[in-house]
A and B are shown apart, each in its own frame.
Chain A
């Protein structure tokens, strides 16, 4: 068992039996469920919409090189610059180079999971550049010094009392304020930051190949402010975010909104085609898009796992996952949590240290059933288990145990060789730990069914 797996199991055990954590998560997820039920009414046939979205992403991903080059060509024509990064370090170096050339002291950032993936904030802080999170949930997480708990709702695990206490401790707000007041304080605190910052940094929800556009979805308006005032706009995004056409947003915007937050569409769906134009009144002078690989091409190379690159990061699979509901987002210790995180993390951060995540699933299939782009998530979790098992050393203790188990169980003679007591002891030795303390091990009868049957017939 790796160190990460041990920590994962310990943290899971603790969270699963923490009633306060359970209360907060149940509340938040119940609200998400209700909103989703409401939001999906907009589709004449949700299943058809999902099939169509799957087909469009399949088209994009199976021709990824072509669409990325098309995006690059168009975006460059529009006056933007594209930077390719094979890994997190290259992306960080590119961002730092831009910051240095602009003498940047502060960056306003809107929500970006890729920036979490490459640990951007810590890196820039080491280099004397302050990054200000502007999405309210991310701002709360930054004040708390925690990574996001959920890819769409970063501070979902905090009660309003906890947020009020945090604002009181960290930024001197009056104690016990309600959510409306806390939101207003965040608004007032962040307003001047947009105007001071030399650089605005965002992620991308979609890259539009045909127009060289970057589509950003949000509700608060912070991404729009981050891309209005600063003189430089940097987008950091994964290569899989590409869609063939601007037209595809007619489907993907409502689909993302419904699955992410239960809305018809989010409040702000923006498309940026480049830096501000000469004839326009404002906007940044320069715009960069950093296209990050960081393990995505290894997902692409696996014909089965490839479809996990269709993901639009809506978070719906987290919301319905019984494992996520019990252990929460932080327990995964990976940038992307929940079912999609368990599928892709082994490819992004190494199979050896993350294969245990494939077992953090009951294989109930809720994730697959809800996924707006119809990724076979629970099937991919099984696929990862097979990959991990195939790559495991031939004589691992577990492999050895299963070999023995198989040998005994496929032989009537061996199975009847031991009496009930011996079997009970063996079972306890082998399985008691995995079985856990919350349920009782089954007890073998003193004589096996087969033996009893034979005796009975002889009578």
Chain B
């Protein structure tokens, strides 16, 4: 007897027996309204409009200072970071409130990212990087550190670059995240921080 798979595929073939021609897809490059500003300005305005908190840093030392300043404003009890590359490059070990233990108990998590997409203010994360899938969405405050070289114009370039970087071995999960978690499910009232982070901070190093 035929399996459901064979039956469904057979039904599809029969249903489409009238189709003869193959269709071309019209190609259009400029789908979106263009604004003539730098990628940095575009990203900053889109990300801020999504309630993201944006900080520009001049370099690793400045980032370290800015992080400390942000921590002093918020006094998060437990800031988690388990990305050795970030820890080394930005000397995160010098900041005593950061630790790589008990990620699930953290108030804030520091991660890197793959790319930043300017038009939509999107941060592209993947499961291939630390800390993986859960902590960047489970922790109430998400702090992302990125550099100017990671900035791309739009989703199309994000997809293109990720495919080039990973080839046939894409990460098991890719997250195009745009601002903190939100809902409008109760009378269309906008509330930030439903299940994911309530705040997203981005520190961008020149």
**Residues on A facing B (Cβ under 8 Å):** 24, 27-28, 31-32, 41-44, 48-49, 51-52, 55-56, 58-59, 62-65, 68-69, 78, 84-86, 90, 134-137, 140, 153-156, 158-160, 163, 179-180, 182-184, 186-187, 190-191, 194, 211, 213, 219-222, 224-225, 227-229, 239, 246-247, 249-251, 253-254, 261, 264-277, 279-283, 291, 293, 297-298, 300-301, 303, 306
Contacts and interface: CB of A to CB of B under 8 A. Distances in A.
Interface stretch (B68-76, B90-98, B124-132, B143-151): B124-132
Contacts of B172: 78, 272-277, 280, 283
A225 B137 contact: yes
B183 to A, nearest CB: 5
B185 A154 contact: yes
A186 B195 CA distance: 8
B28 A48 contact: yes
A220 B183 contact: yes
Nearest to B132: A281
Contacts, number: 261
B84 interface: no
A265 B16 contact: no
A270 B9 CA distance: 28
B127 A267 contact: no
Given A135-B185, A179-B187, A182-B186, A86 B28 contact: no
A146 to B, nearest CB: 14
Contacts of B12: 64-65, 68, 239, 297, 300
Contact of A250 (B4, B7, B137, B156): B156
A136 B185 contact: yes
B1 interface: no
Interface residues of B, number: 70
Interface in B122-181: 122, 127-128, 130-134, 137-138, 154-156, 159-160, 163, 170-181
Contacts of A271: 173-174, 176
A155 B183 CA distance: 12
B4 A84 contact: yes
A48 B34 CA distance: 15
A59 B127 contact: no
A403 to B, nearest CB: 33
Nearest to B29: A44
A43 B185 contact: no
23 contacts: A43-B33, A52-B28, A55-B26, A65-B13, A135-B185, A140-B185, A180-B189, A211-B170, A219-B182, A221-B181, A221-B194, A227-B173, A250-B154, A268-B196, A270-B176, A273-B170, A273-B172, A273-B174, A277-B171, A277-B172, A280-B127, A282-B133, A298-B15
A224 B155 contact: no
Given A86-B7, A228-B138, A48 B173 contact: no
Interface of B: 3-5, 7-9, 11-16, 18-19, 23-26, 28, 30-34, 46, 50, 119-120, 122, 127-128, 130-134, 137-138, 154-156, 159-160, 163, 170-189, 191, 193-197
A38 B194 CA distance: 23
Contact of A42 (B32, B160, B173, B179): B32
B126 to A, nearest CB: 9
Given A48-B31, A55-B23, A247 B120 contact: no
A86 B12 CA distance: 12
| 3 closest Cβ pairs, A-B complex | A221-B196, A281-B132, A301-B15
A85 B23 contact: no
A187 B193 contact: yes
A182 B23 CA distance: 49
B135 to A, nearest CB: 8
Nearest to A287: B172
A97 to B, nearest CB: 14
Contact of B133 (A220, A250, A283): A283
Contacts of A298: 15
Contacts of B195: 134, 187, 190-191, 220-222, 224-225
A280 B171 contact: yes
B184 A261 contact: yes
B132 A280 contact: yes
Contact of B16 (A62, A163, A274): A62
Given A187-B194, A228-B132, A298-B15, 7 more contacts: A43-B33, A78-B170, A182-B186, A250-B31, A250-B159, A251-B31, A265-B178
A362 B3 CA distance: 43
A235 to B, nearest CB: 13
A159 B30 CA distance: 41
Interface centre among B19, B119, B159, B172 (most CB of A within 10 A): B172
Contacts of B9: 65, 68-69
A291 B173 CA distance: 20
B178 A266 contact: yes
B29 to A, nearest CB: 10
